[in-house]
Structure 1
Amino acid sequence: MLALFRRRTPHRPDRPPSVGWHRSASGPPLTAGQIRGRRFSPARRGLDPAEVYAFLHRVAGELAATRRDLVTVTEENVRIKRAPRSWQARFAPGARR
């Protein structure tokens, strides 16, 4: 019973265990174009292809928007981290003006 709660992969001391959990081990992250272009073989009984492709386009659009937001947030993060250093360099005691 306790075996169910044990880690299946050993902890790597060079990074926290949660880093990279969302990445696929099979290759690089999917792009919105790969999702939109994915095709499935026809099946006699299965899902409606139009619904599947509509869903894939929605997922691809959300992925593209999320990646744009990530770039924006990353740039904002860099700007916010630089602001105190810039202020300190200009107004801290002993700083040249």
Structure 2
Amino acid sequence: MRHGTVYGGTEQLHPRLVRERNFSTVGLGRRGLDPQEVRHFLHRVAHELATLRQEVARLHDENTRIKRALRDWQSAQARRRTP
């Protein structure tokens, strides 16, 4: 499986994909996993994924801001040194 894909698919892992993931039923009756428990877990995973995506976006913005401030500072220092 390639990084950023879902079960060998081409879409990046996204909270919506986790929430909407369906599992096959196994056998007759109540064999296999409890569907409610699986659904609850998937919602928890989706929530965590959404939180992490927001944090990554926030950190990206902060990184951009800091880089811009550093470039501005470096330019100001270079201008001070130039007679």
Tell me the TM-score normalised to structure 2 length.
0.75
In the TM superposition, residue 33 of structure 1 has moved relative to its aligned partner by: 1.0
2:72 aligned residue (79, 83, 86): 86
Shift of 1:76: 0.9
* Higher RCO (Cα < 8 Å, 6 or more apart): 2
More helix by proportion, 1 or 2?
2
Q: Which runs of 5+ in 1 are unaligned?
A: 1-20
Deviation at 1:94, TM superposition (A): 2.3
Task: Give 2:53's aligned residue.
Answer: 67
Task: After TM superposition, give the deviation of residue 83 of structure 1 in Å.
Answer: 1.4
Describe the superposition over 1:1-54 as per-residue Cα deviations: whole angstroms up to 9, x where unpaired.
xxxxxxxxxxxxxxxxxxxx6323530212111111122233341011110000
Tell me how far apart the structure 1 counterparts of residues 47 and 36 of structure 2 sit (CA, whole Å): 16
Among 22, 31, 40, the alignment partner of 2:14 is 31
| More off after superposition, 28-37 vs 38-47 | 38-47
Matched, 1:50 2:36: yes
Establish whether residue 22 from structure 1 lines up as the match of residue 8 from structure 2: no
Identity, % of aligned pairs? 45
- 1:56 is displaced (CA, Å) by 0.3
Amino acid at match of 1:26: G
